[in-house]
Structure formats: structure tokens, C-alpha cells
Amino acid sequence: MESLLQAIDLQVPQMVSWRRYLHQHPELSYYEYETAAFVAKHLQQWGLEVRTQVGGNGIVARLKGKGNGPTVALRADMDALPIQDEKTCEYASTIKGIMHACGHDAHTATLLGVAKVMAEHTEQPEGDVVFIFQHAEEQSPGGAVSMIQDGALDGVDYVYGIHLWTPFPVGSAYSKPGAMMAAADEFIIVVKGKGGHGGLPHQTIDSVVIASQIVINLQTIVSRSVDPVEPCVVSVGSFHSGNSFNVIAETAALNGTVRTYDAALRLKVEHLMENIVRQTCEMYGADYTFEYKRGYPPVVNNESEFDRFLHAGSKVVPVQQAPLIMAGEDFAYYLHDRKGCFMFVGAGNAEQGIIYPHHHPKFDIDETSMRDAARLFIAMVTDCQNS
């Protein structure tokens, strides 16, 4: 492992260069055409067996091992977000309204570095290593399911993923046995009132007032209907209605997310939400539509692979147990099918001003975190195939 780690250290400047190129040229979920071509070109140059268009824009590359050890898969995501980049730096996004605001550019560049080092290493790994570059993590139904259906995990025994995470400080790594990240659902509510003149509200059924009341009432689900020790989030992310200052809008639309861990609570929240919407609209004489979309399930790590993270990961970066994280991840689907572990590597650095959360217009990472992530991947693969 030591020679691989030394090679990774030498590869870091190239990884940073790849990351900055990808940061300048982001692509949204399901549109990662140039990103996928960039990844495939490099993997093919290093002599790996490469499949393109796996389940969509996904890339799967295989490094053949000696044949004695288990096959281990490593996954990175490639897609960006519909956010305007507000950073002032030489590698800011060049695409208006699109940026890598979650670190997927660095995930891709890091896994490329690991693939290059392992492919060029003189000694073959004990078993095959599969490199999964996934499209569309940010947008449900996500790319994981379609890639799995298209054979991304065929022959794979273990699967590992890493997310660079700015809430954790650089120079650290975190994971958790069992459930670690939440189920991520989406809801869409449309209130249908009666539009009219802004100066004659008594002749209308005001969709804005009703929808505003729904937003307030939804907050009582977590505060008054859910056990305080149960993790649960209900967030309205967008509110759209009307386009004129003196017109009471006919309709108002709310869009948001629900995050839970428990299956029964997940169902309960959905029912409570619809009851609140229905009864609030009935009180004002409005109609409504309510759509609830089941998203990614919780990320549940295999306990033995978390133990491997503690044992092997601690050799390359300080590790500790993560708290529950209410963000969602479609890496959950890989863990449904195979043993594995999802891990966080700290990427925040307050001294450098790298303090902005994921999905923020000024999001950035401490790029030295990519070295930690690459070393952690190497440690997990080596320990798995030699234990």
C-alpha cells in the first residue's frame, strides 16, 4: 500500500488540475456528456476496460487483478447543480447558471487519480477494481439505479463511496455504522383559489394567503406530531405565485423536501402533510393537488465495512464516527445490493474562507482534501483485498 500512497501524493497536482477544469465546465444531471467523455478518454489511455453510456451517461472501468481477491468498486458522481457560481477565482464556472456546488467535480478528479495510479502500478491488485463514475446523483430518480440495472455492480463484492464535506474540517474522515444519511423525498403542492383584483380581495379566494398558511402549518409536523428524538425534516424550498403587484393569483405552488430515517415515520409524515393541505384549503374554500415523490432511501452502511473504515482508514487520515446527516444520497442503492461503506472526508477550512455549505453559490473545497480521499480509497481497497 505504501507505494500506492506515495504515487497518490505525486498525483495530487494533476487531480487538482482535473478538478478545476471540471469546475469550469459543469454539466447538469442527465446532461454530463462532455464530462463523461473527459473521464472515458483518460481511463482508456491508461488501458482499463471501459464501458460508456452505462445506464445513461455513466462510465464503468475495470482494472483486472490477479484473480484471487474480491472485486471492489469505487464510486464518484459527476453532475453539477443549477446555481450561479458567485466565487471570484480563476477556476469559477464558465457556464451561466450552472456550477459544481457539491464537490462532484473533486469526486470525479479524485477517482480518476486513484484509477491512474492503480492502473500504472507495476503490481496488480489481488482482485479486480471497478471504477464507477455516476451521472445524475443530484436529481431523482438518480443515476445509481439505472447504472446498477445496466450491470455496474456485476461481479462486485464490495462497494465504497466518498463525499468531500465542508461541514467537517480538512484532515479528517467520518462514517457511521448502519443508517447514516436520510431518505430524501419531494413534495409538490398546488393551491387552486379564485383570482381577482388586488384591491377587491373579498371577491377572491387568495391562493397566496392559503399557501402561506400551509407553510406555517407544515412546521407543526416536526414540532408537534413527531417524537422529538426522531430525526425528521420538512422543508418548503420554493413558493411561486402570480406575476403582478395588483393581482391576487389564482394558484400558488409549493415545492419542498422531507427527510426521515424510519419507514413508518416516512409514511406518517406523508399522510399528515396531505391532511394539513386538505383541511387548510377546505377552511378557505380552495381546491388543491398534492404530489408526494419517494426519493432515495436512507444510506445504510454495513457494520463490518464501517469497522474496516476505522481500522484501515485510520492508517491514512484521522477517522471518527459521523453524526446522523439529513442530506440524502443515491449511493444508498449500491449498499442495498452489496456490502460497503459510504464515507465523508473533511473539506472545510475556515482559515482559508472555505466555510460555505453545499449547494451555496460560493461553495468551494480545500483541495488538499482530495489527497485524503484518494488515500482513503486506496486503504479501503487494499485492506479489503488482503484481509
Binning the chain into helix, strand and coil, the percentages to the nearest 5 are: 35, 30, 35
The Cα angle at residue 19 between residues 50 and 168, in degrees rounded to 5: 110
Distance of CA 367 to the CA centre of its chain: 18
Of the candidates 241, 240, 237, 242, the one whose C-alpha atom is nearest the C-alpha of residue 187 is: 237
Q: How many helices (H) and strands (E) does the chain have?
A: 9, 16
Distance of CA 166 to the CA centre of its chain: 13
Report how far residue 214's alpha carbon sits from residue 277's, in angstroms, rounded to the nearest whole number: 6
Residue 241 contacts residue 182 (beta carbons within 8 Å): no
The Cα angle at residue 131 between residues 105 and 325, in degrees rounded to 5: 55
Tell me the CB-side half-sphere exposure of residue 183, using CA atoms within 13 A.
19
262 by Cβ neighbours in 10 Å (0-12 / 13-18 / 19+) ranks as: middle
Tell me the three state secondary structure of residue 41: helix
Of the candidates 366, 362, 368, the one whose C-alpha atom is nearest the C-alpha of residue 87 is: 362
Positions marked active-site: 79, 137
